[in-house]
Chain A
Amino acid sequence: MRSGPGANGRNDILSGPGRARSYFVETMTDYFEVFGLPRKLQIDLAALQRSFYALSRRHHPDFHQSAEADAQARELEASALVNRAYRALRDPIARVEYLIALEEGREVREETAAKANVPMNLLAEMLEVQEALEEAKSSGLSDGAADQLRAEQRRLRDRYQEETDALIAAAPEWDAVVDAGGERKPLLERFKQRLAARAYLRTVIDDLGQALGGSEERDVAHRRH
């Protein structure tokens, strides 16, 4: 579909030295390489933003308005790639999700958490909350029950934050494994478990928010207009 490297010198910064294939024909693009970074989780955000701006200045369609149609199309795709790469890497959690997809060689898609099984102990723990939720749905909430659900929601938010913090805190561990050339799979599995727990907690928190009515708008806001 698109020309390979060499046909267009401008792609060098994206392809990196010695890369033999164009990103645009690959199904999996290494976003770390887009920014010339190793596949590590600790990233200097200020430096990342600087290179994002620099790459944008180079590839944004605004600056290729009078180029040939082919070149315009190429820069458009390059610009789109830079934007997606930045979006995936600037956020520490999105970064972990992307890393897992990259390591496993599958397509990564917006808002699709890595599908792993939710830990059994968490499911057991939620049983009570789920029952209370079912009851609230069928017969409405008494004041006491609402207070209890609110307290539960606060507690789950804390749990959610703990999972988030733990994921971020594990970044140096991953980077050390990469440096040492060690076994990556166990760590990736742990990341997946945490992400799954986190996604599950988010769902329960949102369900609680809905059961508790409009006052909890913030938690469902991401689904609404």
Chain B
Amino acid sequence: MSRIVGIDLGTTNSLVAYVDGAGVPRVIPDTEGRTLLPSIVAYTPNGILVGEAARRQLARNPTRTVYSVKRFMGRGWDDVRDEARHVPFEIVPTPEVVRIRAGDREVTPPEVSAEVLRALKLRAEAYLGEPIAQAVVTVPAYFNDAQRQATKDAGRIAGLDVLRIVNEPTAASLAYGLQKLAQGVIAVYDLGGGTFDISILRVKDGVFEVLATNGNTHLGGDDFDRAVVEWLLADIRAVHGVDLSGDPEARQELRLGAEAAKCRLSSEERTALTIPFDAFTYRRDITRAELEGLIGSLVDATLGPCRMALEDAGLPAEQIDEVVLVGGSTRVPIVRQRVKELFGRAPHSQLNPDEVVALGAAVQAQILAGGITDMLLLDVTPLSLGIETLGGIVSVLIARNTTIPTMAKEYFTTSVDGQTAVDMHVLQGERELAKDNRSLARFDLSGVDPMPAGMPKIEVTFLIDANGILQVQAKELRTGKSASIEVRPTYGLSDAEVAQMVEDSFTHAEADVNARLLIETRTEAETVLNHVRRALGQGGHLLGAEERRRIDAAIAALRAVEGGDDRDAIRERTIELNAATEKLAEAMMDAALKGAVRSRRADEILEEP
């Protein structure tokens, strides 16, 4: 069997990992040694950029640069209405799967994710020197059927056969378990960029048995950043009298600044935020206490799901032997503090919380490939599965936290003489009324032989496979004939649509790595040109005539080659332009520092009694 890689398709960053010849799982770096690929896709007029190159487009091309697309996977417009307000790219309201308008085209979330997966596939192929066609991809444990299916579709569009969808916290437990770093009953607290999961597992004799899982697929570090951005916007209104809330570029700069400040505050008590806008430069000190005041309630929102998972597992917090932290957001001290209070023991993250899920995915890949035979993961379905019955009530067929794969049978009949089709509505969720749960799909059961009403006995088998994805089979018991079932996913792509996207991706693909690199180089050149233009606007007066001439010459030189195909020339001129502007950067930094000192003095004076 050819090599299977493990992929962590994250809200903020994605990674690819494999198990090496010695049986050790390893994350695969890019040519520059970076392991994290930002889950960002920019649809620029020059072409599609992914990862770091796309990240640099966030503030420059906010409406064409798609980030955090995981929050839109397998969702309908009604689910993402709130979310859509917070992102600079346009979400197109449709009755089915949401679409994102990126420049002149509309793309679905699986297509965006497919770009990220494709980039990881290429990275793995370059590193391992062999074609990669199969992968294990992780998803939040609390992802529903539609979200899982959307992830599988993304893989298919990217040319990857997704052999298994694995839950992120359980993947993490495999990575820990392989190295014997976790035993007994463990709780995995996984707070990522956009999603939160808690899983309780029993690790015994090489079996990883998930006892219960819970979570929130719309809660993560993104929400922390958002809270800080809103606060900064209010501060800017108060201090500078400017309302930037409607300016996508400014919002994006603030978001990136807030994210960086949040990260620094994990190790520092106080940090300075400096964001240059065209009209003014915004400076602000933030303390850890201020950050905690802004995000405290969000952190608390993770505790309810933890308690419910414990209850479903039938265990008091004292019986948890170890608490493991996964996901970048668990670096935030207040998160660690709250987790410690809830479980009554200090959590640990011996393995890098950014990488551990990808490592675990690689372990699962190795299990599927037959390379590891003494480990077995027994996962659960996070949400109850039911069908709508008379009066809009849900009849539960498979309860949440049931070990998968699992199966349930249900019997249907007809209500009218000669009726040849039966319609059923499948739902996922914990509420009693159908309308309060997630509609997964409607099934048309057709081809039933005409019989008097109530005579047919149609057996429908609901099977949740090891991926947590539903499969349905139907059979008419009186005739023994299989009835055909047409699945109409409520918020998903049909098979035909996915097939079309796979084909499109072949025709439109910038499969040629060189073409892709050229786009990146060109776009980088444009970014630098743009920065220089902005810097000259703000600090041009700080330069002597000679310096100014050097910069203008470097700009002209880059402009001359930028539109061409000579990647090396573009890159060299870009480097030269960067070098030519060093003096300018220094001069501006000096001016900024003086300004910062002045403003701090003003603060200190005000603070005095």
Q: Chain B 474-505, CB within 8 Å of chain A: the 1/0 string?
A: 01000000000000000000000000000000
Interface string of A86-100 (1 = CB under 8 A from B): 110000000000000
Closest residue of A by beta carbon distance from B403: A83
Interface segment, A57-65, A172-180, A181-189? A57-65
Q: A60-B466, A110-B399, A225-B429 are in contact. Are A53 and B405 (CB under 8 A)?
A: no
Q: Does A224 contact B (CB under 8 A)?
A: yes
Chain A nearest CB from B247 CB (Å) reads: 36
A74-82, A133-141, A143-151, A159-167 - interface stretch? A74-82
Chain B residues 413 to 459 lying within 8 A of chain A, measured CB to CB, are 429-432
Residues of B within 8 A of A66 (CB): 1, 370
Are A61 and B465 closer than 8 Å at their CB atoms?
yes
A223 interfacial contact with B, CB 8 Å: yes
Q: Which of A79, A110, A225 contacts B397 (CB 8 A)?
A: A110
Is B402 in contact with A87, judged by CB distance below 8 angstroms? Answer: yes
| Given A56-B378, A66-B1, A110-B397, A83 and B404 contact (CB-CB distance below 8 Å) | yes
Asked if B294 CB lies within 8 Å of chain A CBs, one says no
Query: What string of 1s and 0s marks CB contacts (under 8 Å) between B399-415 and chain A?
Result: 10011111111010000
What is the CB-to-nearest-CB distance from A164 to chain B, in angstroms, rounded to a whole number?
A: 13
* A27 to B459 CA separation, bound complex (whole angstroms): 10
The 8 A CB mask of B207-219 against A (1 = contact, 0 = none) is: 1010000000000
Do residues A56 and B465 form an inter-chain contact, with CB atoms below 8 A?
no
Task: Choose from A107, A111, A221, A224 the contact partner of B409 (Cβ within 8 Å).
Answer: A107
User: Is A19 interfacial (CB-CB < 8 Å)?
Assistant: no
Asked if B557 is at the interface of the complex by the 8 Å CB criterion, the answer is no
- The answer to whether A110 and B463 touch (CB under 8 A), given A53-B207, A83-B405, is no
Q: Residue A190 at the B interface, CB < 8 A?
A: no
Contact status B466-A53, CB under 8 Å: no
**Which residue from chain B places its CB closest to the CB of A61 in the assembled complex?**
B466
> Given A80-B463, A110-B396, A221-B308, A53–B205 Cβ distance below 8 Å?
yes
Residue in chain A with minimal CB distance to B464: A80
A1, CB-defined interface residue at 8 Å: yes
State the Cβ distance, B457 to closest chain A Cβ, in Å. 10
CA distance A131 to B406 in the complex (A): 42
Q: Give B373-416 interface residues, CB cut-off 8 Å to A.
A: 373, 376-378, 396-399, 402-409, 411
Which residues of chain B from 205 to 251 have a CB within 8 Å of any chain A CB?
A: 205, 207, 209
A84: Cβ under 8 A from any B Cβ: yes
**Is A115 at the interface (CB under 8 A from chain B)?**
no
For B429, list chain A residues within 8 Å (CB). 225
Interface mask (B1-17 → A, CB under 8 Å = 1, otherwise 0): 10000000000000000
Interface hits, A195-213 → B, CB 8 Å: none
In the assembled complex, the CB of A225 is this many whole angstroms from the nearest CB of chain B, namely 5
- Select B406's contact among A60, A62, A84, beta carbons within 8 Å: A84
Q: Are B368 and A77 in contact (CB under 8 A)?
A: no
CB nearest neighbor in B for A224: B430
A76–B405 CB distance below 8 A: yes
| B569 sits at the interface (CB 8 A) | no
Which residue on chain B has the smallest CB distance to residue A86? B403
Q: Given that A56-B378, A76-B463, A110-B398 are known contacts, is A223 also in contact with B432, CB under 8 Å in the complex?
A: yes
On whether the beta carbons of A225 and B430 are closer than 8 Å, the reply is yes
Min Cβ gap B202→A in Å is 9
Taking the closest CB of chain A, its distance from the CB of B424, in whole angstroms, is 16
Q: Which residues of A contact B205 (CB under 8 A)?
A: 53
Whether A56 touches B207, Cβ cut-off 8 Å, given contacts A80-B463, A225-B429, is yes
Question: How far in angstroms is the closest Cβ of chain A from B78?
Answer: 16
A53 CA to B206 CA, complexed, in Å: 10
* With A110-B397, A223-B432 as contacts: A61 and B370 at CB distance below 8 Å: no
Q: How far is the CA of A87 from the CA of B409 in the complex (A)?
A: 16
Distance between Cα atoms of A84 and B381 in the complex (Å): 13
Interface string of B524-564 (1 = CB under 8 A from A): 00000000000000000000000000000000000000000
CB-CB under 8 A from A56, the residues of chain B are 207, 376, 378
Q: Are B378 and A60 in contact (CB under 8 A)?
A: yes
Determine chain A's interface SS by DSSP, over half rule: helix
B405 touches A79 (CB 8 A): yes
Contact A80 B431 (CB under 8 A): no
> Given the complex, which residues of A lie within 8 Å of B409, measured CB to CB?
27, 107
- Indicate if B311 sits at the interface (CB-CB under 8 A): yes
Question: B163 at the A/B interface (Cβ < 8 Å)?
Answer: yes
Q: Contact at A218–B163, with CB atoms within 8 Å?
A: no
* Complex CA–CA separation, A83 to B209 (angstroms): 11
Asked if residues B376 and A80 are in contact (CB atoms below 8 Å), the reply is no
A19-77 with Cβ < 8 A to chain B: 27, 53, 56-57, 60-63, 65-66, 76-77
With the chains together, A110 CA to B204 CA distance in Å? 27
In the complex, which residues of chain B have a beta carbon less than 8 angstroms from the beta carbon of A87?
402-403
Q: How far is the CB of A217 from chain B (nearest CB, A)?
A: 8
Q: B585 on the interface (CB 8 Å rule)?
A: no
Query: Please, which residues of chain B bring their CB within 8 A of the CB of A76?
Result: 405, 463, 465-466
Please measure, in the bound complex, the distance between the C-alpha atom of A224 and the C-alpha atom of B407, giving whole angstroms.
23
User: For residue B164, which residues in chain A have a CB less than 8 angstroms away from its CB?
Assistant: 62
B463: A residues at CB distance < 8 A: 76-77, 80
Residue in contact with B311 in the complex, picked from A53, A77, A218, CB distance below 8 Å: A218
A224 touches B399 (CB 8 A): no
Contact at A62–B466, with CB atoms within 8 Å? yes
Is B367 an interface position by the 8 A CB rule?
yes
- The smallest beta-carbon distance between A65 and chain B, in angstroms, is 5
> Are A65 and B368 neighbours in the complex by a CB distance under 8 Å?
yes
Q: How far is the CA of A82 from the CA of B31 in the complex (A)?
A: 47
Decide yes or no: A224 and B406 within 8 Å by CB, A56-B207, A110-B399, A218-B311 being known contacts.
no
Chain B, residue nearest A77 (CB): B407
Interface pair A60/B376, CB less than 8 Å apart: yes
- Per the bound structure, the CA–CA distance linking A61 and B209 in Å amounts to 15
The CA of A218 and the CA of B403, in the complex, are separated in Å by 23
* CA gap between A141 and B249 in the complex, in Å: 53
Is the pair A221, B403 in contact by a Cβ cutoff of 8 Å? Answer: no
Residue of A nearest to B214 (CB): A225
Task: Assess the B475–A1 pair: CB atoms within 8 A.
Answer: yes
* In the complex, residue of chain A having the shortest beta-carbon distance to the beta carbon of B411: A107
User: Which of these, B377, B402, B431, B475, contacts A62 with CB under 8 Å?
Assistant: B377
14 contacts between A and B (CB under 8 A): A56-B207, A57-B376, A60-B378, A62-B376, A62-B377, A63-B373, A65-B163, A65-B370, A66-B1, A76-B465, A80-B464, A86-B403, A107-B409, A110-B408
Additional 14 contacts, C-beta under 8 A, given A53-B205, A107-B409: A53-B209, A60-B378, A61-B405, A61-B465, A63-B373, A65-B163, A65-B368, A66-B370, A76-B466, A83-B404, A83-B405, A87-B402, A110-B399, A224-B431
Binding site for A on B (CB under 8 A): 1, 163-164, 204-205, 207, 209, 308, 311, 364, 367-370, 373, 376-378, 396-399, 402-409, 411, 429-432, 463-466, 475
Residue numbers of A with Cβ under 8 A of B are: 1, 27, 53, 56-57, 60-63, 65-66, 76-77, 79-81, 83-84, 86-87, 107, 109-111, 218, 221-225
Q: List the 7 closest A-B pairs by CB distance, nearest first.
A: A80-B407, A83-B403, A80-B405, A61-B466, A65-B368, A110-B399, A53-B207
